[in-house]
Amino acid sequence: MPGLIKCNSCGGTYPDKQHAGCDYFHACGPIPNPAYQPNPALPNFDLQQYIERPNKRDENLLPNPTPGLPPVMVNAGTGVTPV
């Protein structure tokens, strides 16, 4: 039974990479812009307007700034919890 990982930033769950059978790099989805929610009377109200969450986790990899060292995660957000 593959383990699951819960993203502490967005609450999403996904299979533990070691058991998933393929690489998966979680990145939190955007959230509705809180500046315009939930009051449609506000100027610029637009249900389709989204922003990135402030604590967004993004497991995609970037080259390490130090040559020769392993790639680094874009942003760890608030981490993960095994579930």
In the complex, the residues that contact Zn ion under the rule CB under 5 A are 7, 9-10, 12, 28, 57
Closest separation in Å from C-beta 5 to Zn ion: 10
DSSP string, 63-77: --SSTTSPPEEEE-T
* Shortest reach from residue 67's CB to Zn ion, in Å: 30
The smaller minimum CB distance to Zn ion, of residues 4 and 45, is found at: 4
Structure token digits, residue 63 = 């080259």
Q: How many Cα atoms occupy the beta-carbon half-sphere of 82 within 13 Å? A: 6
Q: How far is the CB of 34 from Zn ion (least distance, A)?
A: 17
The residue (of 6 and 45) whose beta carbon lies closer to Zn ion is 6
Nearer to Zn ion, 42 or 81 (CB): 81
Six-digit token string for 22: 């393929």
* CA–CA dist 73, 62 (Å, integer): 6
